[in-house]
Amino acid sequence: MSKLIIGMVHLKPLPGTPYYEEGSFQRTLDTAVESARALFNGGADGCLVQTVERVYRVDDESDAARTAAMALVVNAIVQTAGPGFQVGVQLMRNALKASLAVAAVTGASFIRAGTLVGATLTEHGMVTADPIGVMEYRHRVGARGVRVLADVDSSHFTWYGGDKPTSEVARAAVKVGADAVVLGHADERRTTKLIASVRAAVPDVPIILAGHTDHANAARLLAQADGAFVGSCLERGGFGGSVDVELVRRYVEIVRGIK
């Protein structure tokens, strides 16, 4: 089975957020479309459009202007990307309903859920899951075909309150409706152990790496996982830069060579 390579499209702060720079939205949209095209032309399977705004709400809410801006960006990418290119939506930290709404109206393929089950303590406060609310909303807006990729142990999510094994968190996420689970850390050995434990718990569920892969370690890590979100190693100048098509091609060549 081919490994899923999902490049990150990191957005500058959007309208309706504290650090939005007035007049910058068109530039943000243009850069996002350029990055998505570079990912498509470089052979990636898709992209995740993710907000990067320095400070976030911890509830499942998103400012109306921010959601509208996200929809414009995602729609532009969906309309310009080639056939089969999967586009994902993530309004951070955990605006899952707004992300589903954007995906539903633009034809995007999936959302990434930072907290689908349980709770996680972040620098912005406690983020608490509302899985029944999310799944009811998914049904209500006709987004049953929009896949939910749920973080279960990553820089975005660590189970709060008791030492619950990641394998059990993964099982809980799948039970409420996750279509794939997302995990991974900078420590490669820790990531390897997490993959093995989750694979044993939910053997038929795809495991997507939550970043931390690059051209040096991708072959090792993706030999064990089903796919990866890939960010800074594909961006000019590192995190937040536009995507470089040649860096994408090199990464794809490495991953496609996995036996």
Q: Would you tell me the crossing angle of helices 131-140 and 96-106 to the nearest 10 degrees?
A: 20
130-185 per-position pLDDT tens digit? 999 999 999 999 999 999 999 999 999 999 998 899 999 999 999 999 999 999 99
pLDDT-derived band at 57 (thresholds 50, 70, 90) equals: very high
Long-range interactions of 238-241: CB distance < 8 A, separation 24+? 239/10, 240/10, 240/52
SS (H, E, C) the chain: CCCEEEEEEEECCCCCCCCCCCCCHHHHHHHHHHHHHHHHHHCCCEEEEEECCCCCCCCCCCCHHHHHHHHHHHHHHHHHCCCCCEEEEECCCCCHHHHHHHHHHHCCCEEEECCCCCEEEECCEEEECCHHHHHHHHHHCCCCCCEEEEEEECCCCCCCCCCCCHHHHHHHHHHHCCCEEEECCCCHHHHHHHHHHHHHHCCCCCEEECCCCCCCCHHHHHCCCCEEEECHHHECCCCCCCECHHHHHHHHHHHHCCC
3-class SS of residue 62? coil
Determine the residue type at 196: A
33 near 79, Cβ under 8 Å? no
**pLDDT level of residue 41 (50, 70, 90 thresholds):** very high
Bond prior to 93 in cis (omega within 30° of 0): yes
Q: What percentage of the chain carries pLDDT values higher than 90?
A: 93
Tell me if 19 sits within 8 A of 13, measured CB to CB: yes
Q: For residue 162, what pLDDT is reported?
A: 81
Distance CA 248, CA 5 (A): 10
pTM for this prediction: 0.97
Residue 239 has pLDDT above 90, yes or no: no
Instruction: Using the predicted structure, report yes or no on whether residue 238 has a pLDDT greater than 90.
Output: no
pLDDT, mean of residues 69-74: 98
106-134 confidence digits (pLDDT tens): 999 999 999 999 999 999 999 999 999 99
Is the pLDDT confidence value at 85 over 70? yes
pLDDT surpasses 80 at 81: yes
pLDDT averaged over every residue in the chain: 96
- The tens digit of pLDDT for each residue in 186-220 reads 999 999 999 999 999 999 999 999 999 999 999 99
Least confident residue range of 53-67, 73-87, 226-240: 226-240
Average pLDDT score over residue span 56-85: 96
Q: Residue 1's pLDDT band (boundaries 50, 70, 90)? A: low
DSSP, collapsed to helix, strand or coil, labels residue 3 as coil
pLDDT above 80: residue 240: no
